[in-house]
Amino acid sequence: MADGNDNNMDDPKLNLHSEDEAEDDDDNEEEEEEETIESFESMNLDQRLLHAIAKQGWRKPTLIQAKAIPLALEGYDILARARTGTGKTGAFTIPILQKILMAKKFATSTTTTTTTASKIRALILAPSKELCNQILQNFSKLIEFCRRDINIMDISHGNLDDKRNFLITEQPDILISTPKKIIEYFQAKILKNLPKQLDFLVIDESDLMFSFGYREDLLKIFEHLSSSKSSNVQHFLMSATLNTDVRELKNLLLNNPVILKLEEPDLPESDKLQQYHIEVFDDEEKFVLINALLKLGLIVGKTIIFVSNIDRCYRLRLFLEQFGIRSCLLNSELPIKSRCSIIEQFNNDYYDIIIASDEKCLSDPNQRKTTTKTKRKKLAKTTIGESSVARGIDFKFVSNVINFDFPESIDSYIHRVGRTARGTDDSNDNDSCGTVLSFVGPDEHENFQRVCRKFQRRQSSNETTNVFRPYQFRMNELEAFRYRSRDALRSITTIAIREARLREIRREMLQSKQLQNEFFQKHPKDLKILRFDRPLDVIKSAHGNRSHLKDLPDYIIPKTLQTSVRSKRENRRIEQQAMLNYQPSLSGRKKKRKSMNQMKAKLKNQQNDPLKTFRMNAIQRYKNKKRQKSRK
C-alpha cells in the first residue's frame, strides 16, 4: 500500500548498517544479509527473563527485536526505526535488563562492595507521561521473576519531595522520565551522581521530542551528563520515522551507531486492514451517521473516534450521551493518573469507545517552521495529551478507528490508523485485523485525495486501484435519525461544552487523588468502581429530561436493516435472560443451608398471609382427594 511497493509488503526487510557505512542520505545505505534469530532462547538470556517473556505470550522475537537485541548485547549504540506496534520497546528493555542482571551477578560473585551494585544504571526518556507509564508497565512485566534484583521508578509525575529520599537512599536501577522532569531533578541536585553511574540512555519516540518542545531540555541533559559521545554509555534512539530531528539527535548523541531501518508499508496489509470512507455534505451529517451506526449496532468492538480538537471531543461525547451511548475521552486537561487509568481500563474491556483529539504539531509538519519558538512551546504544551493518543500508546485489540474529522496530513492519518490491526507476535496475528471508517466533508476532500494518492495500489497492467472503498449506506433512510440528531445538537451550546469540561476536570482531579492512594494497590477490585465513561449530565440539567432519545423505535430503523436489528435485540435479550437465570453451582453444605433458608421463608410467608390458614389448607387437601377419586 505504500508508494505501490506491493512486492515488498509480504516480505519486510531490515536495513542494518553503521554510521561509518552510511551518511544521512538513505539512498547510500548498504544492506547486510544476516540470519534472523527465531527464538529468544537462542539469545542466551537469563532464565528469569525467558520465563517472563513466555508468560507474556511472545512466541518469537519480532523482526526489529531479532536484529536489535543481539547487537545491543554486544554494546553497540542503536538507532531503530520501525512502525508503531512492531515491538520497539522490547528491543531496548530486554537487553538492558539482561546486562543489569549480568552486572549484578558478577558484582555479587566478586569482592565488590554493595555500593557499586546500587546505582542508577539506565535512564529512559519519553515525550509524555502516558508513554513513561507504559514503559514502566513493560519493564514491570519483564522483571516479574527478578523483582528483588531490579528496581524501576517512574518520576515523570509527582512532587520532587515525595521521591527525594528514595532516590538518595534506595537508588533504582532504571529511571523513567520526561526530559522536562529530569531537568527539575538536576536543578534540585538530587541526581548529581547520575553522570558517574549511568550505563544506558534511551530516548523513546525520538522523532517527537523536538515537536513537543524538548529540544533545549535535551541539550541540557546531554550537557549535564557530559556523555554525548562517551564510550561508557550505551545509547538507544527509538523512532517511528527518520526525520531531520532524529538525525540531529544521532549526531549529538550516538557514537558510531548501528542503524536498524525496518522496511515495511506505512499501513498494515489489506487482508488485515479494511479502509472505508463516506462522503458527507455538512458537519451535521457526521453526527447523524455516528448516531445511526452506533445505535443500529453496525459498529462492533472496541473503537477509537478521532476528532480535530478538544472542544469537538466534548461536543461529540455530549451528543452520544443523550442517546445513551457511553464513551470516555482523553485530553491533556485531565490528571495523569486518570489518563493512564483510562487507557488501562480500555485495554481491560471496561468500555468500548474512546474519543480522542489528534495532535496539531504532527498534523501540519510545516507549522513548526512558520511559528516562533515561544508559540511552538505553547503549542507543544497544549497538545501533549493529544499527541500521546495518536502516537506510542499501546491500545490493545482495537477493532475500529473512525475518523470523525479527517486528518490534515498523511502522517497524522498513518498514526491514527496505526491504532488498529496491530500485532507484535505470531500469537496475535489472527486477532490483529481492523477497520477504518473516514467521514469526508467538503472542506476535507483535498486532504482525502492526498491520502488516496499516497496509498493507491499499482496493478501489473500499470493501473491503479484505490484502497479506500465507499461505505454502502443509504442516507435517504436516515431522516428520522437526522431529526433526532438535530434536536440533540441544538442543546449542545458553547456554555454546555464549557460546563462539561469544567465538571469533568473537577471530577477527575478528585478521582486522581483517590488513585494516588495506596488503598487501590491492596484492593484492585475497588478500582473498577471508578469508571471514566460516566455521563456528564450537563444537557439533562439545562434542558430537562431527554431520556426518550435513548430508545430506538422500530419506525426509525431503515427497512433494509430491520431484520438484523431485531435479531440482535433478540440475541441480547436471550443473553440478559440467561445471565439473570444463571446460578453458580453450590457445595453440599451451601445447598443444604439454601434449602433451609427457603423453607423458613416459605413458612414465614404462609404465616403472614391471612389466606394461608390451616382451615384453608385442609379444604384444599379435601378437594385434591376428591378430585383424585373422581379421576379413578
Q: How high is the pLDDT of residue 411? A: 79
- Most confident option among 29-38, 213-222, 472-481: 213-222
DSSP for 214-231, written as a single string: -HHHHHHHHHHHT-TT-T
- Quick one: pLDDT at residue 153? 92
Distances (CA, A) of 156 to 153, 233, 382, 471: 9, 22, 17, 43
Q: Do the beta carbons of residue 259 and residue 92 sit within 8 Å? A: no
Q: What is the pLDDT of residues 533-582, one digit of tens each?
A: 667 767 765 555 566 677 777 778 787 777 877 777 777 677 666 666 65
DSSP per residue, 27-41: GG------PPP--SG
pLDDT band at residue 496 using 50, 70 and 90 as cut-offs: confident
Task: Provide the grid cell at 501.
Answer: 469540561
Q: How far apart are CA 512 and CA 572, in angstroms?
A: 35
User: Confidence class of residue 143 from pLDDT cuts 50, 70 and 90?
Assistant: very high
Compare 99 and 189 and report the one with higher pLDDT.
99
Of 379, 378, 330, 332, the C-alpha closest to 356 is: 330
CA distances from 533 to 162, 226, 590 (A): 31, 47, 38
Q: Indicate the range of 229-243, 337-351, 512-526 predicted with least confidence.
A: 512-526
Three-class secondary structure assignment of 467-534: CEEECCCCHHHCHHHHHHHHHHHHCCCHHHHHHHHHHHHHHHHHHHHHHCCCHHHHCHHHHHHCCCCC
Which among 457, 360, 451, 449 is positioned nearest to 8, based on CA atoms?
457
What gap in Å lies between CA 106 and CA 100, rounded to an integer? 10
> Could you give the angle at which helices 129-142 and 88-109 cross, rounded to 10 degrees?
50
Chain segment 260-318, per-residue pLDDT in tens: 887 666 677 777 888 999 999 999 999 999 999 998 888 888 999 999 888 899 899 99
Strands (E), 72-165: 78-81, 122-125, 152-154
Percent of the chain with pLDDT over 70: 68
d(CA 182, CA 191): 9
Say what the pLDDT of residue 92 is.
Answer: 95
Q: What is the pLDDT of residue 277?
A: 92
> Sign of the CA dihedral 323, 328, 329, 334?
positive
Q: What is the pLDDT of residue 101?
A: 93
* pLDDT above 50 for 204: yes
* pLDDT of res. 30: 36
Report the candidate in 431, 430, 424 with the shortest Cα–Cα distance to residue 58.
424
Residue 3: is its pLDDT beyond 50? no
C-alpha cell recorded at residue 239 = 523512532
CATH architecture, domain 273-357+386-573: 3-Layer(aba) Sandwich (3.40)
Q: Are the beta carbons of 94 and 103 closer than 8 angstroms?
A: no
DSSP state string for 286-346:
HHHHHHHHHHTT-S-S-EEEEESSHHHHHHHHHHHHHTT---EEE-TTS-HHHHHHHHHHH
**Distance from C-alpha of 33 to C-alpha of 47, rounded to nearest angstrom:** 29
What is d(CA 423, CA 58) in angstroms, rounded to the nearest whole number? 11
Q: What is the mean pLDDT of the chain?
A: 75
Domain ranges of the chain: 39-263, 273-357+386-573
pLDDT band at residue 372 under the 50/70/90 scheme: very low
Q: What CATH homologous superfamily does 39-263 map to?
A: P-loop containing nucleotide triphosphate hydrolases (3.40.50.300)
Average confidence (pLDDT) over 220-242: 78
**H or E element at residue 64:** helix 63-73
pTM: 0.66
Whether residue 376 is predicted with pLDDT greater than 50 in this model: the reply is: no
The CA distance from 78 to 202, in Å, is 9
| Dihedral class, residue 50 (left if φ above 0, else alpha if ψ from -120 to 50, else beta) | alpha
Cell 540512555 sits on residue: 201
